[in-house]
Amino acid sequence: MFVSKINLSEAEVGMKLAESVYFPTNTGQFMLVARKLAALDEKTINMLRHHDIQEIEVYAKTRPTTTDIDDIKKEEHVPIKTIIEEKLKVEAVENVKQLFNSVTPDGNLNKTTAYQCVKNIEGVVGDLLNVISNDAGEIFHIYDLKAYDEYTYHHSLSVSVLSMATGRALGMDDEMVLRLGSAAMLHDIGKQMIPPEIINKKGKLTDPEFNLVKNHPSRGADSLRDNGVGDEELWGAIRHHHEKIDGSGYPNKLSGEEIPLFSRIIAVADVYDAITSYRSYRSPMPPLDAFNVIFEDINTSFDYNITKAFYEKLEFYPINSIVELNDGKIAIVVQASNWKLRPIVRLWGSDEIVVLSSHKSLGIKRIINATELPEGYEFV
């Protein structure tokens, strides 16, 4: 089966959608009209027509014809502005790695190592706060924090930065943001007590395996507490970062404001970074799809005000991002817009500017790594 882009007027009952279809609301958010893999029926087609959807992507039995790529101009590679200096990233990741690796499978810690690592992490978090406070736009992206290797440690750094930025948006003072950043950096320490073959398993976990994974927040908090590292605020933030607003989370099925504030913030940052990261068993989810996963779970899994603050602070498509549009064209982000998920882009190799917020059916399909350009596209 191949993917084909068609005009809605060509849609037929029984065709299967290859991409979910969204429409922008007056508030700049996006609402789901039809989900990927849904089979079209008259009701769905009429709904798409009602929302003025012009084009859709469907699965076709034969490969669609395309125009050969000829004489595409080369582009100069301009990297995305780095938020965190490499030295600080390395320092953060190495200290998290050293602390996590000091945890034995039964939850014991090398107390001397742990104490020093936690102090070092607190210093790193202070440096991260200075970076956040000195950012003139106060908008943050995390693409320079993404890494293919050592996911757990880079994930800890990303979740810390995202959580601190969200805390800032919620009006927290420096001292509170520092405590939040440290808790976020350590939120997954309990995974060191889970066999790596379970943590990295590509297939679906068995019930016993999933129950073991569900224990990682409690085991992490208990390990730090039992070894005299941290305080009640830190342990609580770690223990409850998988609780859900509706009370369906774990380990204690807390709901609403019963869940510690730090845990509610870390929960949003944790899920967003996890599903937008490269893993050995799946590709990263595009920012639009990732945020919609979170948006659809507001007041079920996630706190509304925290999700709103998270959205305000995060730059989904930083300037100089290379993106593939849903019409197959490659473009470069040149400017943000009021609709953060629909920036202003320039088509690759040309001066043509496209204001995506002005195009109902045109949007970004995915971000492309500079080393993974499609055939025919290259740098000078």
What is the pLDDT at residue 298?
95
Q: Highest mean pLDDT range out of 54-68, 124-138, 284-298?
A: 284-298
pTM of the entire predicted model: 0.77
Tokens representing residue 321 in the block: 């991002």
What is the pLDDT at residue 54?
81
Burial of 196 (0-12, 13-18, 19+ CB in 10 A): exposed
Position 183 pLDDT exceeds 60: yes
DSSP 3-state of 194? coil
Instruction: Evaluate the CA torsion angle 158, 253, 236, 186 in order and state its sign.
Output: negative
Give the start-end residues of each E strand in 208-363.
Answer: 322-325, 330-335, 344-347, 353-355
The better pLDDT of the pair 329, 3 is held by: 329
Angle at 255 between CA 168 and CA 251, to 5 degrees: 100
CA distances from 361 to 119, 206, 364 (A): 50, 41, 10
**What is the rounded CA–CA span in Å between residue 325 and residue 329?**
5
Q: What residues contact residue 340 under an 8 Å CB cut-off, 6+ apart?
A: 28, 311, 314, 315, 316, 317
Instruction: Evaluate the CA torsion angle 283, 289, 292, 296 in order and state its sign.
Output: negative
201 DSSP 8-state letter = -
Position 19 pLDDT exceeds 60: yes
Instruction: Evaluate the CA torsion angle 260, 265, 269, 271 in order and state its sign.
Output: positive
Q: What is the pLDDT of residues 219-241, one digit of tens each?
A: 999 999 999 999 999 999 999 99
**What is the rounded CA–CA span in Å between residue 249 and residue 34?**
28
**What is the rounded CA–CA span in Å between residue 104 and residue 193?**
7
What is the pLDDT at residue 147?
64
User: Sorting pLDDT into bands at 50, 70 and 90, what band is 64?
Assistant: very low
Q: What is the mean pLDDT of the chain?
A: 86
Q: What are phi and psi of 205, to 5 degrees?
A: -75, 145
Number of Cβ within 10 Å of residue 99's Cβ equals 27
DSSP states along 302-346: B-HHHHHHHHHHB-SS-TT-EEEETTS-EEEEEE--SSTTS-EEE
What is the pLDDT at residue 36?
76
Q: Highest mean pLDDT range out of 226-235, 277-286, 366-375?
A: 226-235
Answer for the pair 17, 40: CB distance below 8 angstroms, yes or no.
Answer: yes
What is the pLDDT at residue 105?
85
Q: What is the pLDDT of residues 68-85, one digit of tens each?
A: 445 677 898 888 887 788
